[in-house]
């Protein structure tokens, strides 16, 4: 391109000088005296002299001058081409003091500014990718044609998709999204946010679809957020059940107390023996209410993840103390415990006693008179396994998974006394201490509750 431009300019200048030479020669011939033939001959000679001397000189001089001018122009063109291809390291010549030099300085400044802006955009892009991939929510953006333009890893994991299945694809071509996002076009066209909940297998998902607008308030696409609210829904369900269970458990003793107080206040009951019996029942129900409140407070404290202090404990002494207490308090059920020598354990004395009391209370509650309850201990490599086995009614197989839930009672009629919080408290205590508890039961054949206690490290 440079050579073509130089040749054209050189020819133009040379032609201009040649025409000027003809005009000067013609004027000189016109002014000299002589015949017409002599004037023509002189004109031809003058033209040949012009062609032989002036044109080569002018052409060489023009070429040298134009080459000096074209070189920085070509350099500027190369810089512009490199910038368009993403290479901002090339620089134009700034040494010239004329317009070409100004052009070079302008291009260099533009190259520096573009490089800075492109670098900043690249950093922002990487930062955006990190932010999107760090979200707990799935994110997907589409253009006005519902074609996917952006997404994060959580989105792919939620729907078990791969990048090649979603990149630059229309959501209508992805079956798992087509049904869930059928309102997306409505969100794009109407410029408002749509929030909906849907169930995808075992996952409950909240989807929020919002339109994206440009500087002219024109819709250019939409962004969709996917949030897994399965755990939130489960917690909300547990909260509702917890409130309902607490209300039910509190209502029972309160109703009994109220039903007994009203006859006493109205002097309907006048017999001293009946009055004493009413007072005794009111006292028992108030104690039941107090125990229920204590159990609720105890469970709340445990679930606040407060640590339990541990120390070296003689496990034999704890079990024997609890055994003697129950052996003396109830003769209708045979309580069996054959002590063996056990190593010292690293635990909390009071908490182990509390767990044993909870398990034995449950065993006595569901074991008929004449039945049998046994306490077993077995030393393992790292811990001691304590088991409480009864010959009671047992637990149905479909109830085993719920037996440690709060307020759960296997007795559907709720004729058995108790809040349904004992096993939940026992499990929370053992979890905090790093232990485990398990139940083995066959309906009609009794149950066995077993839990571990870590041995003291030497």
Residue 188 pLDDT > 80? no
- C-alpha to C-alpha distance for 196 and 184, rounded to whole angstroms: 11
Most confident of 140-154, 215-229, 255-269, 370-384: 370-384
Question: Which residue did the predictor score with more confidence, 246 or 429?
Answer: 429
Highest mean pLDDT among 155-169, 279-293, 339-353: 339-353
Is the model more confident about 442 or about 288?
Answer: 442
Average pLDDT, the chain: 77
Average pLDDT over every residue of 330-349: 86
Assess whether pLDDT exceeds 70 at residue 181.
yes
Q: In the beta sheet, which residues pair with residue 212?
A: 221
Give the pLDDT score at 242.
Answer: 67
Average pLDDT score over residue span 146-165: 81
What is the band of 450 on the pLDDT scale with cuts at 50, 70, 90? very high
Give the whole-number percent of the chain exceeding pLDDT 70: 75
Q: According to the model, what pLDDT value does residue 2 have?
A: 46
- Please compute, for residue 431, the number of CA atoms within 13 A of its CA located in the half-sphere on the CB side: 13
What sign results for the dihedral spanned by CA atoms 287, 293, 295, 297? negative
Residue 442 near residue 389 (C-beta atoms within 8 A): no
pLDDT confidence of residue 222: 84
Mean pLDDT of 441-457: 87
Evaluate if residue 411 carries a pLDDT over 60.
Answer: no
pLDDT, one tens digit per residue, over 88-121 is 777 777 776 667 777 777 878 888 888 888 888 8
**Which position has the higher pLDDT, 2 or 161?**
161
Confidence class for position 414, pLDDT limits 50, 70, 90? very low
Q: In terms of C-beta density within 10 A (0-12 exposed, 13-18 middle, 19 or more buried), how is residue 188 classed?
A: buried
**In the beta sheet, which residues pair with residue 438?**
450
What is the mean pLDDT of the segment spanning 421-425?
80
25-66: per-residue pLDDT in tens? 565 555 555 566 665 666 666 666 666 666 676 667 666 666
> Quick check: 345 pLDDT over 50?
yes
pLDDT above 90: percentage of residues in the chain: 2
In angstroms and rounded to an integer, the radius of gyration of the C-alpha atoms of the chain is 48
Please give the average per-residue pLDDT across 302-324, as a whole number: 83
Residue 3 clears pLDDT 60, i.e. is over it:
no
Comparing 183 with 429, which gets the higher pLDDT?
429
Looking at residues 302-317, what average pLDDT do you find? 81
Residue 219: pLDDT above 70? yes
- What does the pLDDT read at residue 1? 46
CA atoms of 458 and 430, how far apart (whole Å): 22
Q: Is the pLDDT of residue 138 over 80?
A: yes
| Model confidence at 227: pLDDT above 80 | yes
According to DSSP, the β-strands at 334-337 and 372-379 are: parallel
233 or 179, higher pLDDT: 233
Output the six-digit token pair for 55: 């044109």
Confidence of residue 451 (pLDDT cuts 50, 70, 90): very high
Q: Taking a C-beta distance cutoff of 8 angstroms, is the pair 388, 372 a contact? A: no
Query: Which of the two residues, 241 and 202, has the higher pLDDT score?
Result: 202
At residue 22, the pLDDT reads 63
pLDDT at 415: 47
Spatial separation of the C-alpha atoms in residues 285 and 287, rounded to whole Å: 5
| Residue 383 to residue 250: CA distance in whole angstroms | 39
83 or 436: which leads in pLDDT: 436
Between 374 and 41, name the one with better pLDDT.
Answer: 374
Higher pLDDT, residue 167 or 374: 374
């Amino acid at each position: 391109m440079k050579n073509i431009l130089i040749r054209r300019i050189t020819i133009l200048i040379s032609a201009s000088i040649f025409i000027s030479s003809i005009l000067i020669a013609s004027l000189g011939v016109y002014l000299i005296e002589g015949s017409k033939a002599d004037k023509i001959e002189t004109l031809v000679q003058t033209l040949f002299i012009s062609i032989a001397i002036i044109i080569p000189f002018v052409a060489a001089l023009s070429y040298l001058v134009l080459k000096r001018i074209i070189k920085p122009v070509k350099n500027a063109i190369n810089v512009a081409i490199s910038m368009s291809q993403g290479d901002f390291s090339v620089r134009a010549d700034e040494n010239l003091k004329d317009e070409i030099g100004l052009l070079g300085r302008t291009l260099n400044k533009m190259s520096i500014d573009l490089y800075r802006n492109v670098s900043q955009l690249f950093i922002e892009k990487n930062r955006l990718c990190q932010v999107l991939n760090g979200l707990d929510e799935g994110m997907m953006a589409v253009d006005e044609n519902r074609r996917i333009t952006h997404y994060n890893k959580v989105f792919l994991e939620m729907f078990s998709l791969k990048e090649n299945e979603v990149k630059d694809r229309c959501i209508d071509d992805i079956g798992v999204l087509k049904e869930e996002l059928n309102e997306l076009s409505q969100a794009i066209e109407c410029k408002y946010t749509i929030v909906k909940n849907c169930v995808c297998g075992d996952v409950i998902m909240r989807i929020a679809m919002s339109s994206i607008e440009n500087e002219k308030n024109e819709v250019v696409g939409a962004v969709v957020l996917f949030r897994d609210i399965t755990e939130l829904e489960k917690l909300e369900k547990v909260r509702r059940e917890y409130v309902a269970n607490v209300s039910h458990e509190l209502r029972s003793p309160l109703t009994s107390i109220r039903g007994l107080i009203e006859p006493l206040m109205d002097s309907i009951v006048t017999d001293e023996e009946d009055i004493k019996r009413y007072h005794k029942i009111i006292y028992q129900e108030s104690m039941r209410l107090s125990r229920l409140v204590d159990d609720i407070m105890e469970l709340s404290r445990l679930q606040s993840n407060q640590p339990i202090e541990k120390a070296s404990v003689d496990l034999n002494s704890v079990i024997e103390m609890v055994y003697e207490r129950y052996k003396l308090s109830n003769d209708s059920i045979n309580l069996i415990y054959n002590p063996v020598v056990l190593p010292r354990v690293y635990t909390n004395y009071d908490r182990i006693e509390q767990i044993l009391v909870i398990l034995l209370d449950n065993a006595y509650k569901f074991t008929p008179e004449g039945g049998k309850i046994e306490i077993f201990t077995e030393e393992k490599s790292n811990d001691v396994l304590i088991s409480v086995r009864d010959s009671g009614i047992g637990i149905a197989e479909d109830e085993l998974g719920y037996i440690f839930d709060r307020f759960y009672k296997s007795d559907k009629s709720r004729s058995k006394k108790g809040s349904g919080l004992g096993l939940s408290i026992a499990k929370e205590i053992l979890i905090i201490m790093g232990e485990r508890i398990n139940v083995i039961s066959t309906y009609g054949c009794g149950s066995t509750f077993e839990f571990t206690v870590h041995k003291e490290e030497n």
